[in-house]
Amino acid sequence: MNPYDSLPADPLLRILSIMTILRSPQGCPWDREQTHKSLKAKLIEECYELIEAIDSEDMASMKEELGDILLHVFFHAQIAQEEGNFSFLEVLEDLCTKLIRRHPHVFGTESATTTDEVHKHWEKIKKAEKPHRESLFDGIPSLLPPLLKAIKLQSRASKMHLDWTSPEGPLLKMEEELQEIKEAYKGKDLEKIKKEIGDLIFSAINFARWLGIDPEEAIKDSLLTFEKRCRFVEKELKDKANPVSPEELDRLWERAKEKYS
């Protein structure tokens, strides 16, 4: 008998049954070999594929990528259940409880009519949820991409009033750091240059945060523009029989900049 013939009609029960079958001795060798750790890289990849679908406003791809991420949730829950830790239904129950607890202005007696008021409730509730945390900086994932981690650290520091009073502060700091890079470069001190470059990037992120600009979105836009310009030049060079001069290359680059500003 084909296991598919006995699957429940309800989609939630059906995917739970499918995962159980895939991980069973009669299931898929690859699925049976997977662990929480072996699936980590693929989960990150799926998240980036979802973000790409969102950015391109491709609803068909977005639906598919959401399904791929859900697969990982079911996969990890199935592994955890086999190891006697927790089930998918327990994951759902904990999530429902958290959502209700963190929205007392919706499910309770608290009041919040603005986003700022909601954030204040959240901070108070999260502090009660994690009483063991001794520092504002506890709970920031160590593996966050550097740009995201910088924003998190700066935001937490701001709660201690370790922050500028206006965007002009980090802007002036960027100018200062750039000057220090120039001085380090004159001295040919690579370690010093590395440090000052890091400080410059950190200050630029701080400036972006003050203006409400997502630095990751900003660098993504710059990368996309740069790639388009490079592809334009690459296409133009294919029609050249001989290597072009630096001057001609500069002219092509200016044309690329005009086309992709």
Reported as a single tens digit per residue, the pLDDT across 11-53 is 999 999 999 999 999 999 999 999 999 999 999 999 999 999 9
What is the overall mean pLDDT for the chain?
92
- Tell me if 113 is assigned to some domain: no
Residue 38: what pLDDT? 96
Kindly report the backbone phi and psi dihedral angles of residue 166, in degrees, each rounded to the nearest multiple of 5, phi listed first.
-160, 165
Q: Is residue 17 part of a domain?
A: yes
- The CATH number linked to 175 is 1.10.287.1080
Given 64, 86, 108, the domain boundary residue is 86
Of 86, 113, 133, the domain-final residue: 86
Give domain status of residue 42, yes or no: yes
DSSP codes, 120-169: HHHHHHHHHH-TT--STTTT--TTS-HHHHHHHHHHHHHTTT-S-SSTHH
Is it the case that residue 3 has pLDDT exceeding 70?
Answer: no
Q: What is the pLDDT of residues 144-199, one digit of tens each?
A: 889 999 999 999 999 889 999 999 999 999 999 999 999 999 999 999 999 999 99
Claim to verify: residue 153 and residue 200 sit in the same structural domain: yes
- Please, which pLDDT band fits residue 1 given cuts at 50, 70 and 90? low
- Distance from C-alpha of 211 to C-alpha of 225, rounded to nearest angstrom: 22
Between CA 152 and CA 160, with CA 156 as vertex, the angle to 5 degrees is: 160
Same domain, 80 and 40: yes
Which two structure tokens, joined as six digits, stand for 17? 């049954």
DSSP label at 13?
A: H
Host H or E run for residue 229: helix 215-238
74-83 residue pLDDT tens: 999 999 999 9
Domain boundary among 40, 58, 86: 86
Q: Same structural domain for residues 81 and 45?
A: yes
* Average confidence (pLDDT) over 47-67: 95
Is residue 12 included in any domain, yes or no? Answer: yes
Q: Whole-structure pTM over 0.75, yes or no?
A: no
26 falls within a domain: yes
Number of domains in the chain: 3
Poorest-confidence range of 18-32, 50-64, 116-130, 197-211?
116-130
Task: Give the pLDDT of residue 4.
Answer: 66
* Residue 102 covered by a domain: no
Distances (CA, A) of 197 to 46, 125, 201, 202, 219: 31, 38, 6, 9, 16
pLDDT surpassing 90 at residue 139: no
Range of the domain at 236: 217-259
Q: Tell which wins on pLDDT, 172 or 129.
A: 172
DSSP tag of 86:
-
In this predicted structure, the answer to whether residue 241 has a pLDDT above a threshold of 80 is no
